[in-house]
Structure 1
Amino acid sequence: MKRNLFLYSLIFSLLFVSCGVQRQSIPDLFVDLKKAIPTLAIDLRYHGDHNFVGRPIRGYEGNRIYLSKAAAIALASAQRELAAENLGFKVFDAYRPQQAVDHFKEWASAIADTVAKQEFYPDVDKRDLFNLGYIAEKSGHSRGSTIDLTLIDLRDGKELDMGSGFDYFGERSHHDYQGITAVQKANRKKLRHIMEKHGFKSIAEEWWHYTLINEPNKEVYYDFPIR
């Protein structure tokens, strides 16, 4: 019996490795981003209930942000440049455990669970979240070099107005959306410029989302919990 349990456990582990998912403790290539950049503001949305699910997400057991060392070095360089303008970053999410992605998938399948719809996806039918790309089987965040963030004024800690909130599911979050003010467009442009200058790339649909171009371990999706 013990032999069978061992074999089942081994097979289960190998399946995760073969799928590119690794369940383990914090790998050496990751750093606690707040320790690497002490002036960084943190608003880890999935650790609490202010997110599109409306409750804490599995795997977010501590209020910490982890990122690959390579991405952290690039972000620190960008933060130093922003400081000359009394600006800095506020981070909403970075490394995301695969178990959190699985939690999102489970939530998306529970069609009646719409507690946070009004704030995060008022114009989107929850049944369309997969087809529209808002929820996926895997996330680049789980590779450790993708970050969701905004700009803040270092003098008072207030966020610059970007024209929509973080994780707003809709066209208003797109970089090319025209229905926002000139100031909001300029703020998005400033964020995009500083991030691209320091080696990150954006995606068209989310003004807050950036990935290090030369990210390490592009094929590995990690699953260690945030503690």
Structure 2
Amino acid sequence: MKKLITILLFLCATQGFAQQQKQLPVGFTYIDNHIPHIAYDLRYHGSHNFVGRRIDGYEANKLILTEKAVMALKKVEAELNKEGLGLKVFDAYRPQRAVNHFKRWAKDIKDTLMRREFYPQVDKRDLFKKGFIASRSGHSRGSTIDLTIIHLNTKEELDMGAPFDFFGEESAHGYVHLTTPQRNNRLKLRKIMEKHGFRAYEKEWWHYTLHDEPFKDKYFDFPIK
């Protein structure tokens, strides 16, 4: 009887996985199907982000990436786990409609609801020029991810010297006014991500793209659900 129940549970789980995968384009997958314990705080599914409201296309609190990127990320997580550390993801695949939402928001100069927290020293009119907002994002190709490192036992984030999505020079890898622990934490994240095939974006310590990404010139717009 126990064996029969185990088989039925396995079949149900397999069927559920297959149904989820059917919702996605070929080559994409849900991250937690492969890294079930990964921590995440999908900022654009809620209101704690630089816009201050849920972003178009984020219909569910789920993380999606290309299968190739997830397999590389799985190696990063496994290596960190040996030290009692893990990854926390803020954003992964991003639909083009979300990028369009950012563009509309950036052009609305009067909407500065979240300025104090996310861009206190940057004129909103300069967000495009300074590279914080773009017409297209590598996230929409499916192999770019925003993330940090946490302690597994407390879920506390390592101090990186600037919060996720902070629009300012403090977020750049080359920012010089960091404490030694902050600099070492950023370097730790960068080294392990690069070791497993990702490259950094110099203006944002949290932003990494798979070197050998499968969709180098294709931008997707399917919603996250």
TM-score, normalised to structure 2, is 0.89
Q: Which amino acid aligns with 1:79?
A: E
Aligned to 1:26: 24
Equivalenced residue count is 204
Q: Aligned to 1:86, which of 81, 84, 93?
A: 84
Whole-angstrom CA distance in 2 between matches of 1:130 and 1:77: 34
Aligned to 1:4: none
Percent same amino acid at aligned positions?
Answer: 59
Whole-angstrom CA distance in 2 between matches of 1:44 and 1:95: 11
Provide, for residues 129-157 of structure 1, a one-character-per-residue CA deviation record: whole Å limited to 9, x for no partner. Answer: 11111111100000000000000000111
Whole-angstrom CA distance in 1 between matches of 2:135 and 2:150: 32
Structure 1, unpaired ranges of 5+: 1-24
TM-score, normalised to structure 1, is 0.88
Write out aligned runs for 1:41-52 (5 A). 41-52=39-50
Q: Aligned to 2:209, which of 208, 211, 218?
A: 211
The runs of at least 4 aligned residues of structure 1 exceeding 4 Å deviation read none
Residue 35 of structure 1: how far off its partner (Å): 1.7
Residue 36 of structure 1: how far off its partner (Å): 1.2
Aligned to 1:110: 108
Whole-angstrom CA distance in 2 between matches of 1:204 and 1:217: 22
Whole-angstrom CA distance in 1 between matches of 2:138 and 2:82: 31
Write out aligned runs for 1:164-179 (5 A). 164-179=162-177
Q: Does 1:100 pair with 2:98?
A: yes
Q: Which amino acid aligns with 1:66?
A: I
Could you say what secondary structure the match of 2:112 adopts? coil
Aligned to 2:55: 57
Provide, for residues 55-91 of structure 1, a one-character-per-residue CA deviation record: whole Å limited to 9, x for no partner. Answer: 1000001000000000000000111111110010000
Could you say what secondary structure the match of 1:118 adopts? helix
Could you say what secondary structure the match of 1:221 adopts? coil
Aligned to 1:120: 118
Whole-angstrom CA distance in 2 between matches of 1:35 and 1:116: 33
Aligned to 1:20: none
Residue 38 of structure 1: how far off its partner (Å): 1.0
Whole-angstrom CA distance in 1 between matches of 2:171 and 2:87: 18
Residue 203 of structure 1: how far off its partner (Å): 1.2
| Greater relative CO, 1 or 2 (CA 8 Å, sep 6+) | 1
Residue 26 of structure 1: how far off its partner (Å): 1.7
Structure 2, unpaired ranges of 5+: 1-22
Could you say what secondary structure the match of 1:223 adopts? coil
Aligned to 1:163: 161
